[in-house]
Amino acid sequence: MRDPRIDASIAQAPGFARPILAHIRAVVHDGGGGIGETIKRGMPYFEQDGLICGMAAFTTHCALTFRKGEAASGAIGAMGQFGRLTRLDDLPDDATLRALVERAVALNRAGARTGAAGKS
């Protein structure tokens, strides 16, 4: 289920960020049916049985953060698990992203709590 606020958020992002954010959104929705969208903490989030991941655009980079650190390798930091995203090639491949979405949904359904570095 797509939220028009996410459309607006992507449209207002810096030019370099729009294709990154749109791609993340498309892949997250390809990762499973029933995924919803919302705005939390002023940024777009995806949810199904709890929060899955959030994305954000800043002046010079984007960030992608899975709310449960167990869903993605790497520590949850200020720039998410994937560091500074400045171009599409900085993202994991689509199959990896879809698998992370599926893992996050499974963790949500299992009642997993957010990792120590994040709060949900």
pLDDT at residue 72 in the model:
55
Q: Where does the chain show beta strands of DSSP type E?
A: 36-40, 43-47, 51-57, 62-66
**Residue 45 included in any domain:** yes
**Residue 39 included in any domain:** yes
Question: What is the mean pLDDT of the segment spanning 107-112?
Answer: 88
* pLDDT value at 20 more than 90: yes
Beta bridge partners of 45: 38, 54
Question: What is the mean pLDDT of the segment spanning 22-30?
Answer: 95
Pick the closest to residue 15 from 80, 82, 87, 92 (CA basis). Answer: 87
Q: Which letter does DSSP use for residue 68 in this model?
A: S
What residue type is assigned to position 7 of the chain?
Answer: D
pLDDT at residue 118 in the model:
39
**Residue 120 included in any domain:** no
**Residue 100 included in any domain:** yes
Q: Which letter does DSSP use for residue 81 in this model?
A: T
**Residue 92 included in any domain:** yes
- Condensed to tens digits (0 to 9), the pLDDT of residues 59-105 reads 999 999 887 765 555 545 556 778 899 999 999 999 999 999 998 89
Domain count, the chain: 1
Band the pLDDT of 47: cuts 50, 70, 90: very high
Pick the closest to residue 50 from 119, 105, 102 (CA basis). Answer: 105
CA distance 114 to 51: 9
pLDDT at residue 73 in the model:
54
Pick the closest to residue 45 from 95, 96, 104 (CA basis). Answer: 104
Q: Which letter does DSSP use for residue 69 in this model?
A: G
CA distance 6 to 54: 11
pLDDT at residue 87 in the model:
96
